[in-house]
Amino acid sequence: MPKHLISIHDFSKEDILDVLRMAADFEKQPSQPIFHDKVIASIFFEPSTRTRLSFETAANRLGARVIGFSDAGNTSVSKGETLKDTIMMVSNYADLIIMRHPLEGSARYASEVSKVPVINAGDGANQHPSQTLLDLYSIQKTQGMLSNLKIDVVGDLKYGRTVHSLLQAMSHFSPTFIFTAPEELKLPDEYKLFLKSKDIPFSETNELIYGFNDADIIYMTRVQRERFTDPIEYERVKNVYSLNLSMLEKTKPNMKILHPLPRVNEIAYDVDNSNHAYYFEQAKNGVYTRMAIIAKLLGEK
What residue ranges bind other proteins (CB under 8 A)?
7, 82-84, 101-106, 108-109, 123-127, 190
Residue 109 or 202: the one with the smaller Cβ distance to other proteins is 109
Residue 55 Cβ vs other proteins, minimum distance, rounded to whole Å: 21
> CB of 221 within 8 A of CB of 259?
yes
DSSP 80: T
Residue 168 or 285: the one with the smaller Cβ distance to other proteins is 168
Which among 297, 298, 296, 299 is positioned nearest to 22, based on CA atoms? 296
Please give the Cα distance from 180 to 287 (Å, whole number).
Answer: 29
Query: Checking phi first, is residue 258 left (phi over 0); if not, alpha (psi -120 to 50) or beta?
Result: beta
Residue 82 or 274: the one with the smaller Cβ distance to other proteins is 82
Residue 150 Cβ vs other proteins, minimum distance, rounded to whole Å: 28
Residue 226 Cβ vs other proteins, minimum distance, rounded to whole Å: 14
Residue 99 Cβ vs other proteins, minimum distance, rounded to whole Å: 12
Residue 129 or 182: the one with the smaller Cβ distance to other proteins is 129
Distances (CA, A) of 289 to 11, 37, 102, 129: 14, 21, 23, 11
For residue 232, what are the β-bridge partners?
A: none
Give the sheet arrangement for strand 176-180, strand by strand.
Answer: 202-205, 176-180, 150-154, 217-220, 256-258
Cα-flanking dihedrals φ and ψ of residue 43, to 5°?
-110, 115
Residue 137 Cβ vs other proteins, minimum distance, rounded to whole Å: 23
Residue 293 Cβ vs other proteins, minimum distance, rounded to whole Å: 20
Residue 54 or 106: the one with the smaller Cβ distance to other proteins is 106
Give the up-direction half-sphere exposure of residue 211: CA atoms within 13 A in the CB hemisphere: 27
Residue 128 Cβ vs other proteins, minimum distance, rounded to whole Å: 12
Residue 104 or 270: the one with the smaller Cβ distance to other proteins is 104
Residue 108 or 252: the one with the smaller Cβ distance to other proteins is 108
Please give the Cα distance from 220 to 242 (Å, whole number).
Answer: 10
